[in-house]
A and B are shown apart, each in its own frame.
Chain A
Amino acid sequence: MPTIIYVEHNGTEHAVSVAPGQNLMQAAVEHAIPGIEGDCGGLCACGTCHVYLPDDLAALVDAPDELEQGMLEFAFDVNDTSRLSCQLIADDAMDGKRVLMPKRQY
């Protein structure tokens, strides 16, 4: 099982074992990681699981689709590395990678 390191905006790190196939929003919510809300439950319909992907992790996932890009407009402090974590599916190659969280989701 890959370990994903969620980094809060203040630098606090949370290492979480994520089952392959699980999305990164779900895993964060299950482990009560502060800073990821996931209000819509993973439907890509709320923009409250916004994260920033460092290059090494971005290289492992597909580019965001139109729906995700649209929902990212609702997120705050979006930049080129922004993604919605409900659309990122864990796999073993992600082991040890870091995901950065924004200051706020609302």
Chain B
Amino acid sequence: MSVTSPAETAARTPFLKPLIWALILFLCVTPFLLIFAVSFGHKIEGASWEWGFSFANYQRVFVGASWPDEITFLYLQKLYYSLYYAVIASVLAVLTAFPFTYLMTGLSRRAQSAWLVFILASLSLSEVFIVMGWDVLLSNRSGLPMVFKETGLTAWLKEVGWFDTLREWGLANPRNVKFKTSVFATVLTMAYLVWPYAVILLYPPLSRLDRSMVEAAQTMGAGPGTVMRTVILPSVRLPLAGAILLLFVFLLGVYVAVTVFAEPAKQTMAVSVYEAVRGNTLNAPFGAAQAVVLLITAGIFLVLGQWLSRRGTS
């Protein structure tokens, strides 16, 4: 704590507060308003777009461009996959980071800070880099499929007939197993991407957890499962839900992992937004409309999550 209180500082610099507000408005609200305004624009077929005021782009998001002659839920399908990957990957990341972080907080101070530095350092890896790494790991000649082939696992799978099942699931071609493109690879990479964040988000509540409560429960005869269920989990329920929500929102916008690991039928709205704005059609208004719908959906989920966790505490 500093010696001067915030009120005193504000009294001495009367312009500071409005200045900060102006900055926040400019940095956060302007881009959003711009996107919002663009989303009502009009696409000129074969060229670019112009400013306008029509709801055609929003209509297209829900029923497609040829409505009412024809109806398609193509873009809602993309929205569904945005939510699908984000929910699964964020839950997966938090569920796996939780035991790790719990065990980590039981280590010595020195070991804890070593782990934290390592995890913070891994955040410097960009999405592109991580996707590249997993791409290599899952590739036919350099990754997991090669291991399958060399260890004889592929031959064994073919022998017992499970290989055909894998082919039906799209996880094999006639020669070997394949993990790209698949939901498995997409979710795995996305969970990996946010895993360090999950640890960092869970670390403060778990390190504040009073270990004597755990010991007390144990001396009273509670097994590890019971301790986890009745002591640890209830006390960190809110941070857990908060971490999942934050990672969920973060994952809604993932682009590289989805373009590389998901087949076109299972790609997300973020990819569709990018294609509309920067792709061959130069349809920024349609991209903006999709972005607004995605944003509103994320907002609804956040409010819902907040409401659920508040209801859980009361």
Is B truly associated with A? Answer: no
